[in-house]
Amino acid sequence: MAKGNRKKHKAKSQSKELTPVKKKIFWAIGFLLPVLFFLVFEIVLRIINYGGNLDLFIDGPAGYENYLRPNLNVARRYFDNEIGIPTPPLQLFHKEKPENSYRIFVLGGSSTAGFPYSSNASFPNILQRGLANKYPDKLVEVINVAMSAVNSYTLLDLTDEILEQSPDAILIYAGHNEYYGALGVGSVQSLGNWPSLVRTYLSLQSFKTFLLLKDIINWLKSQIGKAASGDVDPTNTLMARIVSEQTIPFESDLYKAGIKQFEENLEIIIQKAKAENVDVILSELVSNLRDQKPFISLDENVKTSSKKYYALAKEAESKEDFAKAKSNYILAKEYDALRFRAPEEFNNIINSLSEKYNLGIAAVKEYFENESENKLIGSNLMLEHLHPNSDGYYLIAKAFFDKIDELNLIDGKSSENGIEIEKGKGLTKLDSTYSEMIIRHLKGSWPFQPKSMPNRVFANFKPKNIYEEISYRVIKSSNFNLEAGHMELGKRFEKAGKLSEAFNEYLALATSIPYEMEFYEKAATVLIKMKKYIEASNLLKKSLLYKENQFAYKWIGQVALMDKNYQVAIGNLSKADLSDTQVLFNLSRSYFFNNQIDMARNYQSQLKKIAPNSNYIPYLNRLLK
């Protein structure tokens, strides 16, 4: 009986065993359930747009629907909120690339972004103006996507989105942030010394679920950090907040890891561009050799003491042995264990990759040395350790301009004008004052001061003049920027009758943000008051490259009428505001002097309808009698 029960039980258990097909189904369900969960979760996060739009390019603002612009939030891919988010410069470019155009994207860090100036002094801005002068029949777009505190990981991460916008060329000036920039081996944002892991991490940024997970981890880290060390000093600069591994000795593992990530990432960028037939121009890096003492000198090893080599360089310079001074200044920089200045190996990599892929190199290093006494680059062109002053930024622009010209990259008729006329253009005393104060603040923090010392540069600051007053407001306020400062100063000058000074402030605005029509109108109005009509007309013609506007058409037309160029006058005035009595009056006159009497009378009649008592009517009556 018991034996029979056992047989029945065995048969029953065998009948309950899963068939191979059922096993596969259960395995599939077990695998798909979490996948389905994360898929639904991802869709929900996308619907609520968690984290916002982190695309590199977004639609232009209202009124500029046919344009794209760099996304000011894109750096959130690389920085958490505790660090602060750098932004690319404000600019626009056509959503649909015009046929008769040449489009350049520029990649880099803070030096490429133009720190500490606004866009009007950045070398991509100067380059665009120079190329526009050289090729007047071509629409040249130079889009600067550089940001402070980023390195080759960011540059690589942005490359695919740049290539989607049909560039003709990509320019790269980068390398100083390689160790301490976001995700660098010495950064607080570092993920370690494995470039492939970091690149995988960046590729996952497109998933909202991953962004949420990252934000949770960053929040937990910030809470642990606050509990351990208290709140972060708000006076610290971004430069002071991003550094984790301060000391990176020459030829150390971290040093070599930085070399590796730079070379690998730069080569991948080049390969991607070459695959799309996009020209790439690189540049050697420059920094302050002569007037920047080493930040950290490892004096326990005399052979690699940066302080020793810096002293030897000074001694050689005093003896007028400038070749030896230069070599020792370079060694002082090489052995500086705080790697805010790129090692010479980066320039070797740049030259090697340029030769391997047959790329052009902008001769920035040569240009800087030629403009420096005894070829020793120092404070003549540098504001501190590596950021150029306005003259230095012009030299970088000129080096890229000359290389583009040498390689004949832009087809079309060229003029005798070039980049030389752009040196210092669009800059005012406000720009130089603001940049000086920013650098003063930068040097009030680590690494120029001990890390434990709060930055108290502006603790008891009292402005000495209007330029310092406005600059200080820009630095301290989150809703008053340098452009607002130029506008306020321009209005003050205009009200005081200082028209030349007012024009310079408005021109600085039009140079910084060339798609804003109000800036052109302000500048042209002052020129008209000064009776500089041709200059006003030429300035307004530039505004039409970005957006058609009736103010520009009116004054271009009226200046053409003064110059007896009646066809041009008619063409422009016809596009102006036809409810403006002055426009109708000048249209009638233009047609009359062009021997189109019927059209002249037509606009005379329109003027009488909308303004029967206008002072213009008696004149037209006599003219057309």
Q: Which residue has the higher pLDDT, 192 or 438?
A: 438
Please report, in angstroms and rounded to a whole number, the separation of the first and last CA atoms in the chain: 134
171 SS3 class:
strand
pLDDT value, residue 230: 47
The pair of structure tokens assigned to 38 is 């994360």
pLDDT confidence of 506, banded at 50, 70, 90?
Answer: very high
pLDDT value, residue 35: 63
The C-alpha atoms of residue 139 and residue 173 are separated, in whole angstroms, by 23
Q: What average pLDDT score do residues 523-531 get?
A: 98
* CB distance 50 to 42 below 8 Å: no
The C-alpha atoms of residue 307 and residue 295 are separated, in whole angstroms, by 9
> Quick check: 123 pLDDT over 50?
yes
pLDDT confidence of 228, banded at 50, 70, 90?
Answer: very low
Q: pTM for the full model?
A: 0.89
Of the candidate ranges 137-146, 318-327, 412-421, 604-613, the one whose mean pLDDT is the lowest: 412-421
pLDDT value, residue 26: 63
> Of 88, 108, 89, 110, whose CA–CA distance to 387 is shortest?
110
CB atoms within 10 A of CB 141: 23
Cα dihedral 316, 321, 327, 332, rounded to 10, equals 20
Within 8 A by CB and 6+ apart from 597, the residues are: 591, 624
> Quick check: 262 pLDDT over 90?
yes
> Quick check: 3 pLDDT over 80?
no
Of the candidate ranges 7-16, 276-285, 291-300, 595-604, the one whose mean pLDDT is the lowest: 7-16
Tallying the residues shown for the chain, one arrives at: 625
> Quick check: 261 pLDDT over 70?
yes
> Quick check: 432 pLDDT over 50?
yes
Of all residues in the chain, the percent with pLDDT exceeding 90 is 74
Q: What average pLDDT score do residues 521-539 get?
A: 97
> Quick check: 398 pLDDT over 60?
yes
Contacts 24+ apart (CB under 8 A), 319-322: 322/374, 322/375, 322/376
pLDDT confidence of 217, banded at 50, 70, 90?
Answer: low
Q: Choose the most confident range, by mean pLDDT, from 83-87, 268-272, 414-418, 449-453.
A: 268-272
Percentage helix, strand, coil for the chain under 3-state DSSP, each rounded to 5: 55, 5, 40
pLDDT value, residue 451: 81
Integer CA distances (angstroms), 168 to 165, 272, 409, 411, in order: 9, 13, 9, 11
Beta bridge partners of 144: 106
> Quick check: 505 pLDDT over 70?
yes
Concatenated DSSP letters of 463-526: -SSHHHHHHHHHHH-SS--HHHHHHHHHHHHHHTT-HHHHHHHHHHHHHHSTT-HHHHHHHHHH
The C-alpha atoms of residue 222 and residue 225 are separated, in whole angstroms, by 5
The C-alpha atoms of residue 557 and residue 198 are separated, in whole angstroms, by 57
58 SS3 class:
strand
pLDDT confidence of 202, banded at 50, 70, 90?
Answer: confident
pLDDT value, residue 11: 47
Integer CA distances (angstroms), 486 to 149, 274, 340, 392, 519, in order: 27, 42, 32, 23, 10
* CB distance 322 to 316 below 8 Å: yes
pLDDT value, residue 227: 46
pLDDT value, residue 83: 60
The C-alpha atoms of residue 322 and residue 313 are separated, in whole angstroms, by 9
Of all residues in the chain, the percent with pLDDT exceeding 70 is 89
Amino acid 335 reads Y
CB atoms within 10 A of CB 24: 11
pLDDT value, residue 244: 72
Q: Which residue has the higher pLDDT, 76 or 471?
A: 471
* Residues 152-194 pLDDT 10s: 999 999 999 999 999 999 999 999 999 999 889 988 877 777 7
Per-chain mean pLDDT for the chain:
90
> Quick check: 80 pLDDT over 50?
yes
* CB distance 107 to 174 below 8 Å: yes
The C-alpha atoms of residue 180 and residue 447 are separated, in whole angstroms, by 13
* Residues 343-390 pLDDT 10s: 999 999 999 999 999 999 999 999 999 999 999 999 999 999 999 999
* CB distance 560 to 574 below 8 Å: no
* Residues 132-155 pLDDT 10s: 999 999 999 999 999 999 999 999
